[in-house]
Amino acid sequence: METKQLSSKTNILYMGSEPKLPIEHPETPPIYHSTANIIRDMDDYDFASSGGKYYYSRTANPNRDGVAEAVSYLEKGEQSLVCASGMAAISTAVLSLVKAGDHILASRSIYGETIELFDNILKKFGVEITYSDFTDIDSVRMALQPNTRIVYTEIIANPLIEVVDIDAVAELAHRAGALVVVDSTFTTPFAIRPLEHGADIVVHSLTKYFGGHSDITGGSITGSEKLIKKIGANFLFLGGCLDPNSAWLMLRSIRTMELRINRQFENAKKLAEALQADPHVQYVNYPALPGHPQHRLAARIMPNGCGAMLSFRVEDDRSKVNEFMHKLKLVKYLGTLGGYRTSIAHPATAFRHEFTPQKLKEMGMEEGLIRISAGAEAFEDLIADFKQALTVFKPV
Ligand SMILES: *Cc1c(COP(=O)(O)O)cnc(C)c1O
């Protein structure tokens, strides 16, 4: 839109911003980068009306709304908020639901940075936090307090792949008048939908399985309209909203999530079985294996598969574990999980700054413990890669 009457300084600000064609039926949604939409009428400046809803991108953005709709659909929740990261989702949800004097009862086996959020930030503002063993329902019962406001857990605990009986936890929490917040990143809605098992809020690091390609950071909060409204008010002030570009990529990734996840779950189960039979492996942690201590619980709450995370134990020799990592040809050592390619992690290295070697051992994170995030490769290629690399270890 060049106008001869205007200065070039002004023209450059306006040209190219009007679409040349009426593009009305794109096969994929456009990316709404615009941080604001023009308010054409005074009455449009109204958050509730559709015209005004998108007046500012942190408040509402069509790409973010698209992701929220998809996550709500998969989790069978009424509404969702889409955040800039899993940690933005967790901090926004939890900060919105507690006040000074409240107590949070959390599983001791939750994501490390969630523990740091609780201990380093929430405690400073007078929120009391205690941790207990959520695989033992009596320990949860004993740890509840009259001021417990949130019971916080994951369903599959890292890195020992322990399973939490979410139905029992939710029942106890609700009887004590507390809300149940579940981080379901490891499980995904294809293994379990926590809201159907009594959770009030489910959070995800969308960075992992939803994104699925190790190229987008994001998070989500899903729950009833009432709770999401309450959290949404703070979401505006805390400001951890996902940017439109990442939201567009996220929705694209979610389209094929089930296809990826089905293969990943299947590969995890086959890997668990094959590794258990390998002479170099001492044991495998995967709840679909009949020998897993919580196999029956897992089969009851996750009948369609127990996720794509597993871990296994070899001899406790740090340099051999390192050699094993080098010897793997396809599988890479990554500080993330949930991607379409199989990756491994070494918990004793990941947690070496947080815990002493003695404490790590007590927690089951021995030098010989290796975690796998199963990808979507052909199983034969995957197991062949593990088998040839496992020969660095002594047979059991
Ligand atoms: C990665 C992860 C998070 C944090 O998510 P970010 O997107 O990295 O902020 C939280 N919980 C679990 C279980 C995770 O794996």
Closest protein CA for atom 2 of ligand 1: 205
Distance 155 CA to ligand 1 centre (A): 14
Angle between helices 244-255 and 62-75 in degrees, nearest 10? 40
| Residue 73, CA distances (Å) to 67, 76, 271 in order | 10, 5, 30
The segments of the chain whose pLDDT lies below 50 read: none
Q: Which atom of ligand 1 is nearest to the CA of 218?
A: 7
Closest protein CA for atom 4 of ligand 1: 86
Closest protein CA for atom 5 of ligand 1: 86
Contact 218, 207 (CB under 8 A): yes
Specify the pLDDT at position 28. Answer: 87
Please name the residues in contact with 130: beta carbons below 8 A apart, sequence gap of 6 or more: 103, 104, 105, 106, 143, 145
CA atoms within 13 A on the CB side of 255: 9
Specify the pLDDT at position 19. Answer: 64
Taking the C-alpha atoms of residue 332 and residue 345, their distance in angstroms, rounded to an integer, is 9
For residue 5 the two structure tokens come to 């009457």
Task: Tell me the per-residue pLDDT of 37-83, one tens digit each, with 9 for 90 and over.
Answer: 887 777 766 555 555 678 889 999 999 999 999 999 999 999 999 99
Distance 252 CA to ligand 1 centre (A): 20
